[in-house]
Structure 1
Amino acid sequence: MAELFDHIDELRRAGGRVAVATLVNTRGTTPRKEGAKMLVGEGGRVLGSVTIGGCVDAQVIEESEDVLSTMRPRLLEMNLGDEDAWEIGLTCGGTIEVFVEPIALDGSPDVGARMYERVREHARRGGHGAIVTRLDAPGGKLLVLDDGTTEGTLGDAFLDERFAAEARDAMARGGSKALFLEAVRGFVEVIAPPALLLVVGAGHVAMPLTALARTLGYRTVVVDGRPRFATKERFPDVDELKIGMPSELIREYPLVPSTALVLVAHDYKYDLPVLKHALSSDVGYI
């Protein structure tokens, strides 16, 4: 998720529109899972990939540029032939379907851009969301959040209900998927928050630990009651640095299965109250 929104932010700074190419279906041997994305900006900037490079990605870029010129989405079916597969390290090829849609990042009204921002804010608070895109009818989109919120439509209330139920199932299972319901083709893109690493204690162990966690895609938070340790000079890259009683600060964060908690304060008055609280939670790792 973080990489997707980093790409969107980078292209937003350039202004204008972007073509978002999403891998929505695979058959046979393919290098990427459903949900892989490539973003193509109006100035020719390309971020991400739907394979891992090669002729297929080059063709998707060309199609994306056409989508930007017409502002009409299109569904591509592409064969990853044996020669193409060998080029990117596979022994044989398969078939992929890629949905390319234009999104405005210049502040003008755009359903896709608005939904990405909504699900992004929800994920920042620890929630999960899904965007359902109708592949056979341009413009049909439905946002489904795990708090019960829905927004948008696929064109019919019955379809919205059916696809929303499938989106909730996809969020529970943790994976994007293609769907064919009531003779309608759709794609459910699940957007989950990054895994959270909560570190109690800003000592020397926490410094390399948080640096490594950042490279692995974790959102990192360090809490400590000692201001001389919890400084930006010691932790320049953590997402949040909190000073205060860890037993109180820790309650601001979701102790859920995707959260890892590490206690390295080496001070019982900090570590033990947090441990007692965590043991009664659903935190995934202590």
Structure 2
Amino acid sequence: MKYTYSVLEHLASRDSKYLATIINVEGSSYQKEGTSMVFNKDGSSTGLLSGGCLEADLYERIKLQDPSFTSFSTLYDMSSEDDLSWGQGVGCNGTIQVLVERLTDQLKRHFITLSAKLNEGFEVTLIKKLTANYQLVGYRFVCEDGTSFGTLNEITNSESSSLTKEFPFVYFKASQCYYFSQLFSPPPKLLVFGAGPDAIPLVELTSGAGFKVVVCDWRPGFCNEDYFPKAHQLVIGNTKELICQTKPNNHDFVVIMTHHFQKDKELIHQLLPMKVRYLGLLGSLARSQRLLEGVQPPKWVHYPIGLSIQAKDPHEIAISILAELIQVKNRSTKTELMNI
């Protein structure tokens, strides 16, 4: 996830020149469809398509293209341990198809618009149309708010409905072309209620993993930039004010770690009706059950918080919480369709 946002941030830069994207995977691979990277004018790059075993070769292939090329596709077969056809023999037991596009000013502007939509909280699906030999025909960004933009004029319902998260690359015999879809989601928001010392490693780790972290507390002496320089936002107030200002929704992740029983209780009672995506309670099982007053909570309430790794100190506890957050974030149903 963090790679995705770092690539997006770099796409609009003056130095960026080529965008490379995995559009199809057969077998196993280090990265999946939709993984992208950017090559700069000087050959440096942002992002990874593999464990670092094919990026240099890909850049050499780019340099062999006609200087005026707009796009090309190349196949990497990494299925054999002793296959040295392109000098590696990595043995990942799969093949990957990579699409390389020149970053034109128009494409950069469209990616800037994409970033703006994500910052507004909307999901955006990028659909690319390719010929039977994997040449790019055009693309269109379709936004959750009903807007769309790009070089591709229209996409039929039958074509868009065939694209899912599990099957993002589909061939249509009637039109003899491929469609590839790539879903971009806003950075997940994590609300951390409680600005004690044990929240510091959690905020550092989760922000580094791509979460948009908001720290909430009633104590300005704790909830400040000196303690939480990586926080996206700091919110100060009583429990009602904190909820009112942060406006939790069903996409948000929430961690309660105030170490104040009554305030934890107030927060839980306000948050339960909001049906957030994840609510984690720091503390023992007995304490959490007391907070819930014997009520059986929904499945999205996690207590004790974090994956069970026998964590002992604040940093280890933060790691266990981050692991659980990632587990929930990446959980999806195989048949879930993209709403495009």
TM-score band (shorter)? 0.7 to 0.9
Q: Distance in 2 between matches of 1:88 and 1:228?
A: 56
Q: How does 1:181-196 map to 2 (within 5 A)?
A: 181=172, 182-196=175-189
| 2:71 pairs with one of 73, 79, 83 | 73
Given the alignment of the two structures, is residue 121 of structure 1 paired with residue 116 of structure 2, yes or no?
yes
- Match in the other structure for 1:231: 224
- Match in the other structure for 1:277: 270
- Match in the other structure for 1:243: 236
Structure 1 residue 240, shift from structure 2 partner: 1.4
Structure with bigger gyration radius: 2
- Match in the other structure for 1:22: 21
Aligned residue type for 2:9? D
Structure 1 residue 142, shift from structure 2 partner: 1.1
Given the alignment of the two structures, is residue 135 of structure 1 paired with residue 130 of structure 2, yes or no?
yes
Q: How does 1:69-108 map to 2 (within 5 A)?
A: 69-80=67-78, 82=80, 83=82, 90=91, 93-104=93-104, 108=105
Judged with a 3 Å threshold, the aligned counterparts in structure 2 of structure 1 residues 266 and 28 are, in CA distance, closer, same or farther, namely closer
What CA deviation, in whole Å up to 9, does each residue of 1:217-262 have, x standing for no partner? 32211012221111111111112112234433434444224x2211
- Match in the other structure for 1:57: 55
SS of the counterpart of 1:220?
A: strand
Deviates more, 1:243-252 or 1:221-230: 243-252
- Match in the other structure for 1:256: 250
Aligned residue type for 1:133? K
Aligned residue type for 2:220? P
Judged with a 3 Å threshold, the aligned counterparts in structure 2 of structure 1 residues 276 and 117 are, in CA distance, closer, same or farther, namely farther
Deviates more, 1:132-141 or 1:182-191: 132-141
Q: Give me the identity figure in percent.
A: 26
- Match in the other structure for 1:5: 5
| 1:179 pairs with one of 147, 170, 173 | 170
Structure 1 residue 19, shift from structure 2 partner: 0.7
Q: Which runs of 5+ in 2 are unaligned?
A: 280-340
TM-score calculated relative to the size of structure 2: 0.69
Aligned residue type for 1:143? F
SS of the counterpart of 1:70?
A: coil
Contact 2:10/2:38 (CA < 8 Å) preserved in 1?
no
Alpha-carbon RMSD = 2.9
- Match in the other structure for 1:207: 200
What CA deviation, in whole Å up to 9, does each residue of 1:163-188 have, x standing for no partner? 44456xx4xx5x67212234321210
Structure with greater helix percent: 1
Q: Distance in 1 between matches of 2:151 and 2:167?
A: 19
Aligned residue type for 1:147? D
Aligned residue type for 1:48? G
- Match in the other structure for 2:321: none
Aligned residue type for 1:9? E
Q: Distance in 1 between matches of 2:219 and 2:44?
A: 45
Deviates more, 1:72-81 or 1:95-104: 72-81
Contact 1:246/1:274 (CA < 8 Å) preserved in 2?
yes
Contact 1:221/1:241 (CA < 8 Å) preserved in 2?
yes
